[in-house]
Structure 1
Amino acid sequence: MTSLAGAVSEEISASLVPVDAELERRYPGDPGTRQPVHTVYVPGDDFTADTLRTWGDRALTALDEHAPDAASFAAVLGLSDGLAEPVYSRVRAKLEREPIEDLRVDFEDGYGPRPDAEEDETAARAARLIAEAYAKGTAAPYMGIRMKCMEAPVRDRGIRTLDIFLTGLMEAGGLPDGLVLTLPKVTYAEQVTAMVRLLEAFEKAWGLTPGRIGFEIQIETSQSILAADGTATVARMIDAAEGRATGLHYGTFDYSACLGVSAAYQASDHPAADHAKAIMQVAAAGTGVRVSDGSTNVLPVGTTEKVHDAWRLHYGLTRRALARAYYQGWDMHPGHIPTRYAAVFAFYREGYEQAAARLARYASRAGGDVMDEPATAKALSGYLLRGLDCGALDIDEVTRATTGLTRTELEGFAAPRRADLTISGQ
């Protein structure tokens, strides 16, 4: 027996139609694509056709010199005996096969002010080299540029560089699927809107599908976190991107300096950094926009002792970020790549069996010592998929550990319908 007439439900549903549409527009969920574990920035004039391989070779050389085997590498990082060999062998294999997952040719701080003719040529060369890399199958999964920002002194220069770069890609055959653009030093949401209008104009000029080109927003100023009226600026920036924002990247040193943090204490684990990234994370949740941690400027160079100290620092910061659900960060030197992958691989390998067992029990409706829900199944499957994407895990071992779940089934759990989460969630 019920007490309410059917018309009541119909009226309530009708009143919430705008809200339903707003939820779908603003919170579409994760895009379900691969997220790189890091971004490497290379100054525009340093970028060559051999950059990816050169970074991989330099990283391998660092391992050969300072940790030539699994035991020595594990001793530096504090890896368990069970993880030492699997992590070390996978790190070396990764450096040989795919040393960089995401590369940004830098025309901002890493490049600086140059004569216009020089930057024009560098931007055109970057487009040519990236197009050739994708054509030859030697590109990183994600590649693109960081232009100059939308502030008045460099705005025209940044727009011109982006135009030259994108035009060069189009003339070379079109925009690659892995194209990523980064807009730095964003302070006001209106600067994001300006970037949207710029990309709209380019798409129209070339007859591209509207919305084809997305971009990352770099968070490097206090104003990008908290506006003058006390609201969260970064949330307004995501909205201002009109669906084009793909990521929020935290800029460790610009942001720290903006807040007056002394140089010796500027780091991604500073309380100011934690506050900024927490705001970014909440603002981006459910929007499909991904959050990236920053970097460390302590380089693994010099004596073996100094290299080991820098490796331990970088490994610890990366593991800390992963535990806080920042699955991507910046790497500034080839010597950082071994510990980036070591941290990522250890993070997924040490927990995948438990995650797989929990997901298998959930999928088969079997009981256990933990009662999981659709939201938890989403997190478990997402964890396994990220491990697969970066090379920490193999699909065969994941399938065995989940008692037969395929990648397609994992992806289904990772992207449940909103209604499924709402009905069963707490």
Structure 2
Amino acid sequence: MSHLEDLVARLDRALAGADAALAASYPGDRGVRQPVHTVYVPGDRYDEKTVAQWSAEAGRVLAEHAASMADVDAEVHDRVRAKLAAEPIEDLRIDFEDGYGNRPDADEDAAVVAAAAALAATVHDGSAPPFHGIRIKSFEAPTRHRGLRTLDLFLGSLVREGGLGEGFVITLPKVTSVEQVTAMVTALDALEAAHGIEAGSLRFEIQVETPQAILGSDGTALIARMIAAGSGRVTGLHYGTYDYSASLGVAAAFQSMEHPVADHAKDVMQVAAAGTGVFVSDGSTNVLPVGDPDAVRAAWRLHSRLVSRSLARGIYQGWDLHPAQLPSRYLATYAFFRDGLDVASARLRAYVHGGDSSYLDEPATAAALAAFVLRGVECGAVAVDEVQRLAGIDLAKLAELARRRIAA
């Protein structure tokens, strides 16, 4: 063995632990699409017709105010109209936390069973959003029992109805400690065993809406430790605009997705999640597009600006709370991807096929370009044949360049 081979072997042995830890902690892309939003519907207001009702209301509002949107590209408008008809909600969360409130146990039990039956019915008939699930109450001491009771009832009912599928996810709100994440893993282990669910298959999101999730009492960023404590079950970090801002003493008039405290929290979330396969989602705006035409248009302008801002900062998901927010969500999202499509495709073509380009893109940038275009395809802003025409690559090559792991 040469001196170089001997040195490499020594370093391989010395770094074996670090190599294994890196691979385990940062597995990269999970091989699944990220929804552009999560829609929250109070548990007692959800039924089999909810998605269709949101579709109809969003389409109606879009049509009613179409004349006021002369600045919207016609192709974007047409694509959004089609999206609202075919897939208005990408990710649905049936809410038994703040959107539902505190009610007698018998009332919540009944609402949980009814919601589970309704979700199962939509899974069977194909009308369920591709991603869907439930938000339970937090694991803080006062609400822990109720949260677990709701989750147990919902899972039991969903399993009996044959409605538990790939797109199901649970949201755990107001997380204040790593131990709560560990407790959630313990709970899911037990509930899988109790209801005959495949071990390790249940997944959950952490809502980051307390300062303790960002900075612990020991001065460390707990959110990174929370991801690790999730034992591979954590799929997302969702920023809670109003709870988090209020916890830091921000006055109600200034609580916003673009407040500096919000940006700091989301910066920490993005760094903690990078390379882990965990998605980051922005929060919501509580300014709803309702009332007279001027009020609707003003709310749309605000929402569109906030959505565009999140997208530019690399946060590709947010929350929507009202059907009339769907047009502005998709108009802003589609415009973002379509505005950058030509340049991104040209750069990808030059990277793959060679030729003249004013950019000298490295593999990491090519991956970002491909991921950008792929996100546009997955949400419906971009057609596959456009990618083939503009970039000269097919969907498989696009996914390969984006480092999209193929789901098993």
Residue 371 of structure 1 aligns to a residue in which SS?
coil
- Tell me what 1:60 maps to: 59
- Tell me what 2:81 maps to: 92
Q: State the alpha-carbon separation in 2 of the partners of residues 341 and 209 from structure 1.
A: 35
- Tell me what 2:137 maps to: 148
Kindly provide the CA deviation profile for residues 87-126 of structure 1, in whole angstroms up to 9, marking residues without a partner as x.
Answer: 1111111111111111100000000111111111111111
Residue 382 of structure 1 aligns to a residue in which SS?
helix
Is 1:115 aligned with 2:104? yes
Q: State the alpha-carbon separation in 2 of the partners of residues 74 and 131 from structure 1.
A: 41
- Tell me what 1:333 maps to: 322
Measured at CA, do residues 19 and 365 of structure 1 come closer, stay the same or move farther in structure 2, by a change above 3 Å? Answer: farther
- Tell me what 1:73 maps to: 69
- Tell me what 2:396 maps to: 408
Q: State the alpha-carbon separation in 2 of the partners of residues 9 and 46 from structure 1.
A: 63
- Cα distance, 1:398 vs. partner? 1.0
Is the CA contact (8 Å cut-off) linking 1:378 and 1:416 kept in structure 2?
no
Residue 69 of structure 2 aligns to a residue in which SS?
helix
Is the CA contact (8 Å cut-off) linking 1:91 and 1:342 kept in structure 2?
yes
Letter in 1 for 2:259: H
Kindly provide the CA deviation profile for residues 36-85 of structure 1, in whole angstroms up to 9, marking residues without a partner as x.
Answer: 101110000110111111111111121222224xxx3144xxx4xxxx10
- Tell me what 1:392 maps to: 381
Is the CA contact (8 Å cut-off) linking 2:124 and 2:163 kept in structure 1?
no
How many residue pairs were aligned? 405
Q: 1:364 aligns with which of 337, 353, 362?
A: 353
- Cα distance, 1:350 vs. partner? 0.7
Q: State the alpha-carbon separation in 2 of the partners of residues 216 and 227 from structure 1.
A: 19
Letter in 2 for 1:129: A
Q: TM-score, normalised by structure 2?
A: 0.97
- Tell me what 2:31 maps to: 32
Q: State the alpha-carbon separation in 2 of the partners of residues 35 and 416 from structure 1.
A: 12
- Cα distance, 1:180 vs. partner? 1.3
Q: State the alpha-carbon separation in 1 of the partners of residues 290 and 404 from structure 2.
A: 46
Is the CA contact (8 Å cut-off) linking 1:73 and 1:88 kept in structure 2?
no
Letter in 1 for 2:396: T
Superposed CA RMSD in Å reads: 1.5
Residue 45 of structure 2 aligns to a residue in which SS?
coil
- Cα distance, 1:332 vs. partner? 1.1
Is 1:270 aligned with 2:259? yes
Residue 318 of structure 1 aligns to a residue in which SS?
helix
Residue 45 of structure 1 aligns to a residue in which SS?
helix
- Tell me what 1:355 maps to: 344
- Cα distance, 1:203 vs. partner? 2.0
- Tell me what 1:281 maps to: 270
Residue 5 of structure 1 aligns to a residue in which SS?
helix
Letter in 1 for 2:398: L
- Cα distance, 1:132 vs. partner? 1.0
Q: State the alpha-carbon separation in 1 of the partners of residues 205 and 272 from structure 2.
A: 14
The worse-fitting range, judged by mean Cα deviation, of 364-373 and 192-201 is: 364-373
Q: State the alpha-carbon separation in 1 of the partners of residues 342 and 275 from structure 2.
A: 27
- Cα distance, 1:367 vs. partner? 4.8
Is 1:248 aligned with 2:202? no
- Tell me what 2:41 maps to: 42
Q: State the alpha-carbon separation in 2 of the partners of residues 54 and 183 from structure 1.
A: 27
- Cα distance, 1:394 vs. partner? 0.5
Q: State the alpha-carbon separation in 2 of the partners of residues 240 and 365 from structure 1.
A: 45
Is the CA contact (8 Å cut-off) linking 1:62 and 1:335 kept in structure 2?
yes
- Cα distance, 1:3 vs. partner? 8.4
Residue 388 of structure 1 aligns to a residue in which SS?
helix
Kindly provide the CA deviation profile for residues 311-343 of structure 1, in whole angstroms up to 9, marking residues without a partner as x.
Answer: 100000000000001100001111111000000
Is the CA contact (8 Å cut-off) linking 1:250 and 1:293 kept in structure 2?
yes
Letter in 1 for 2:329: R
Is the CA contact (8 Å cut-off) linking 1:59 and 1:335 kept in structure 2?
yes
Residue 3 of structure 2 aligns to a residue in which SS?
coil
Residue 341 of structure 1 aligns to a residue in which SS?
helix
Is 1:344 aligned with 2:333? yes
- Tell me what 2:18 maps to: 19
- Cα distance, 1:144 vs. partner? 0.6
- Cα distance, 1:17 vs. partner? 1.0
- Cα distance, 1:174 vs. partner? 5.2
- Cα distance, 1:207 vs. partner? 4.4
Q: 1:184 aligns with which of 173, 184, 207?
A: 173
Letter in 2 for 1:265: F
Letter in 2 for 1:88: H
Is the CA contact (8 Å cut-off) linking 2:121 and 2:163 kept in structure 1?
no
- Tell me what 1:10 maps to: 9
Letter in 2 for 1:132: A
Letter in 1 for 2:130: P
The worse-fitting range, judged by mean Cα deviation, of 358-367 and 221-230 is: 358-367
Residue 361 of structure 2 aligns to a residue in which SS?
coil
Unaligned 5+ runs, structure 2: none
Measured at CA, do residues 174 and 103 of structure 1 come closer, stay the same or move farther in structure 2, by a change above 3 Å? Answer: closer
Measured at CA, do residues 174 and 333 of structure 1 come closer, stay the same or move farther in structure 2, by a change above 3 Å? Answer: closer
Is the CA contact (8 Å cut-off) linking 1:331 and 1:337 kept in structure 2?
yes
Q: State the alpha-carbon separation in 1 of the partners of residues 167 and 404 from structure 2.
A: 25
Letter in 2 for 1:30: D
The worse-fitting range, judged by mean Cα deviation, of 361-370 and 191-200 is: 361-370
The worse-fitting range, judged by mean Cα deviation, of 197-206 and 99-108 is: 197-206
Q: State the alpha-carbon separation in 2 of the partners of residues 11 and 332 from structure 1.
A: 57
Unaligned 5+ runs, structure 1: 418-426
